[in-house]
Amino acid sequence: MKKAIKFLSRFLWGTVLTLFAFSGSIPDAEEPVINHFFAAQEMVSGNTWKIYIKASSPAADMKYIYATVEQKGGTIYPISITRIKKGDARVFSGYLYLPTASAGNDWNIFPLDLTIQIKDEQGRFSNPVKFHLNFNWRASKQEPPAGVFEEKDLGPIMIQLRPFQDFGDGSYSP
């Protein structure tokens, strides 16, 4: 009886693992991972927002950094894709940056949500990392934790922010 229960248990566990493997629910050990990340949560409009990331890939085949930006009012900007330099395919650290000068004054730019992911040569994506940014003319500068990230320019987030007008009735205009 114990052998039958043991066999049945192993059979069911094997079936569950097989189903997960075919559904893609078990993470691939070779996919890239964003290990550490930091960005200011508040800043003065017109400054440049630096988004620090540190990523690694056991397969040493990281190829692109994908950045998507959404703004209050339902504005979604096109995806910004930054190529990772060949020497940084296994581990890299540095910052992406987003100039906000085009956004105008504090009172006509809404908060931003930014999502960063790494894509490798096999088409696998890393864990998504999300950031939120509010604009405030009294914001103080926020620095990343010391000794975690390199002060290395990984490239710009290639979008141009647009100012909006809030009509006060829940509607917005670019």
* Structural domain boundaries in the chain: 1-27, 33-164
- Give 100's contacts (C-beta < 8 A, 6+ positions apart): 43, 45, 46, 47, 48, 49, 109, 135, 161
Task: Dig out the tokens for 10 from the structure.
Answer: 């192993």
On whether the CB atoms of residues 164 and 91 are closer than 8 A, the answer is no
Domain with residues 33-164, CATH architecture? Sandwich (2.60)
Which of helix, strand or coil describes residue 97? strand
Task: Dig out the tokens for 138 from the structure.
Answer: 């009294």
Torsion over CA: 152, 155, 160, 164 (sign):
negative
Mean pLDDT of the chain: 80
What integer pLDDT is reported at residue 60 of this predicted model?
Answer: 85
For 48-102, the pLDDT digits (tens) are: 999 999 999 988 889 999 999 998 777 789 999 999 987 777 899 999 999 986 5
Cα(167)–Cα(174) distance, rounded to whole angstroms? 11
Find the largest Cα–Cα distance for the chain.
75
Which of helix, strand or coil describes residue 125? strand
For 92-127, the pLDDT digits (tens) are: 999 999 998 654 554 456 788 999 999 999 999 999
